[in-house]
Structure 1
Amino acid sequence: MVRNPLIVSKKFTGVYHKVLLDGDVSFCINYKENGKVKWVTIGKKSEGINEAFCHQQRIDIINKSKFGEQAPIIKNKAKKKSSLFDDMAKEYIDNQDLKPRTAYLYKNYLNYLSSFIGDKSLSEIDADEVKKIKATLKKNEKSNATINAHIAFIRAVFNYATKNEKHKGVSPCENVDLLSIDNNRERYLSVDEVKQLKQAVKSDAMLSLFIELSLSTGGRVETILSIAKKDINFIQRTITLTNHKAKRTYTGFISDSLLALLQKRCNAIKDPNELIIKLHSKSKDKPFQAMSIRIKNIMNELFNSGLSSRDAKNRVVIHTIRHTFASHLAINGTPIFTIMKLLDHSDIKHTLRYAKLAEDSGLTHIKGLF
């Protein structure tokens, strides 16, 4: 069988093509390296390859051969063609319908990742790069959940870029293993520690009200921050709470320690739609992160001295308040299904972890059994 001959490009030096038996066109280039002619097949017309592309590839290879790397002008052009991670991550965040908390976390992830891969094009980032980030986070004693979240964010950015045809190829996270996570935080505040916490925030009216609302309802941060005056019913001593995670409302109750503080705040509000927790003007646009940072600093000072940042079981965090609410309900003998209802859990399995805290919950029944 006679092979189809190579046809020399009339426009570009060192660029050739030949017509294949199926009618497609195959392109290749040649160049000299150390006095020897080298040939490289670039691709087919059906794959989007043309003479101009081959010409550019040839220039890139020659420059790399001469200078040991791509010439600056070529490198810059390549980066412009392939989006930088920083730019793509910002575009991804801007185009998602994110809850305030998620948006805050994503921006934190991006701020951290920028120092590693922010100015790199997506095509330059590989699995080794992600593994370096993972190792550095671990060295800095970040929790397994935090490390996994950073990797998941990188994956999400690449998936977004691929979906929108701004990146070709697999995600660099494909061959990076996630770390195992133990979500069962065992730490909750004792009665004395609750008193310590209340004392620490006593001078700040809004912070004090936030803590009392959290201890009285067990609501998550977003839930507490979204309570408006219209959600309060002093006659029935109830609060309509929003589960932003499940996108539904449920009922919480006003404890004795919360009552006076809440009445004072509601008396100062005229608009029924106004939020109960009102932060200072500097932080009003970012209530979740502002409150999280303030509470975190207080928790660290009061309870986390000497503990590793990776010690998830023993460190006190803002979610510990919700855990404290449920734990003391169980200790006081509250039925597990009532705790489930007060926490607005969808599955009893999530609530059963508190059952072990009611150590003598069966004692009354056993005493007079026979």
Structure 2
Amino acid sequence: MSIKQTKDGWKVDFRAGGANGKRYRKTCKTKAEAERYQKFVEAQLVATGKPWQPRPADRRTLSEIIAIWYQHLGQHLRYNEPRLRKIQRVAEAMGDPIASELKPSQFSQYRSQRIASGTAPSTVNREFHYLISVYNGLNDLGEIDYENPLKKVTALKQKDTEMHYLTRSQIDDLLAALRDSYKPETELVARVCLSTGARWGEAEGLTASRIINNKVTFTDTKGGKNRTIPIDRDLYKLLRARAKERPYELFDNCRVCFRKTIAETGIELPRGQNTHVLRHTFASHFIINGGNILALQRILGHSDISMTMRYAHLAPDHLQDAVKFNPFKSDGH
């Protein structure tokens, strides 16, 4: 029996009929009342199979529960406002249905329309997971008492994205072009990315206090954890010299300069991999040169090793065991 005293009274929280039974939550004035409530619910379920004093149907719309989710949970997430806007657009596109009555077919139809309009499956999957988190979060809080209506919907299958990386000659050409660009400091930002695997925004946001003892520390990262990466002495000297000129923010926004310059070099990149090609280039050369995949995971800040494993095929000895241990090399029976 799960009965706890709270500032509002005695809270009952249990599942009738075992771990897989329906969950019941109620706040009572006294502990005795809470105990009677739980016993009554369990007895009535045994006798009739019907719940005790069922709540009236929840007629709140999807946009209304999204607002409640944002108030309790969403506003505390990174990039909270962009996420809120995306979920609100999903609700609007589906006609803002009653949240408890949303059918998987409604979301499936919306998803099909998005794909037909040219939206990438990864974007649609992101919207799907955002919506799932709204229902699951509110259910955990007790704000809704029905199951997630999309729990049986599966995400779309996504093709592995092409990850282009620069050759050494392309790196040299690009850095030379950046050095001669209208924002020469763009070259130094690119060097940081190529030397540490940092995202462009992480490198661009460096301050003097984060460049110490031949190391750089990236904060406010996508994964929410700081990363400290060693760098060579030449790059360290360049960054410290820049820090003397601009101790608080080493760089202005150089992204546009980078995009224009890389276009001028004639380097062709897959869609969406403009500045990110530098991160891919670091990771790819790290593995090609014999780097350890687990070390790369820590350097890149990947929480899931599967993200890092995308580079594993570049290892010099990748899949060589297929030659060493195939059945023609065995004398077994």
Identity, % of aligned positions: 20
Report the equivalent of 1:343. 300
Change (3 A) 1:237 1:187: same
Per-residue deviation, 1:240: 2.4
Kindly indicate whether residue 224 of structure 2 is the aligned counterpart of residue 239 of structure 1.
no
Pair 111,190 (structure 1): closer, same or farther in 2 beyond 3 Å:
farther
User: Which residues of 2 match residues 276-315 of structure 1 at below 5 A?
Assistant: 276-279=250-253
Corresponding residue for residue 277 of structure 2: 320
- Aligned residue type for 1:134: R
CA gap 1:217/1:124 in 2 versus in 1, 3 angstroms:
same
Counterpart residue type for residue 88 of structure 1 = I
Cα offset, 1:254, TM superposition: 4.7
For the aligned residue pairs, the C-alpha RMSD in angstroms reads 4.4
Task: For 2:216 and 2:304, locate their aligned partners in 1 and report how far apart those are by CA, in whole Å.
Answer: 22
Instruction: Specify the alignment match of 2:6 in structure 1.
Output: none
Does residue 59 of structure 2 align to residue 82 of structure 1? yes
Match of 1:190 among 167, 171, 189: 167
Residue 324 of structure 2 is matched in structure 1 by none
Counterpart position of 1:153: 130
2:230 equivalent in structure 1 = 252
SS in 2 for 1:187: coil
126 and 222 in structure 1: CA distance in 2 versus 1, 3 angstrom threshold: farther
1:214-252 Cα shifts (integer Å, max 9, x gaps): 12210235643553311113xx43212346627353323
Matches within 5 A, 1:59-208: 82-94=59-71, 95-96=73-74, 97-100=76-79, 103=80, 106-107=83-84, 109-110=86-87, 112-117=89-94, 119-182=96-159, 185-194=162-171, 198=175, 199=177, 202-204=181-183, 207-208=186-187
- Structure 2: segments with no counterpart, 5+ residues: 1-43, 45-49, 319-333
The corresponding residue for 1:14 is none
Q: Is the 8 A contact 1:217 1:254 kept in 2?
A: no
Structure 1, unpaired ranges of 5+: 1-23, 25-42, 54-80, 281-290, 310-314, 362-370
Q: 2:53 maps to what in 1?
A: 46
> How far, CA to CA, are the matches of 2:128 and 2:186 in structure 1?
33
Choose 1 or 2 for highest CA Rg.
1
- Counterpart of 2:321? none
Q: Is the 8 Å Cα contact of residues 83 and 122 (structure 1) preserved in structure 2? A: yes
Residue 200 to residue 250, structure 1, CA distance change in 2 (3 Å):
closer
Number of equivalent positions:
264
**Does the 8 Å contact 2:227/2:299 carry over to 1?**
no
What TM-score results when the alignment is normalised by the length of structure 2? 0.59
- 8 A Cα contact 1:299 1:316, kept in partner: no
Q: Describe the shift of the 1:326–1:153 C-alpha distance in structure 2 as closer, same or farther (beyond 3 A).
A: same
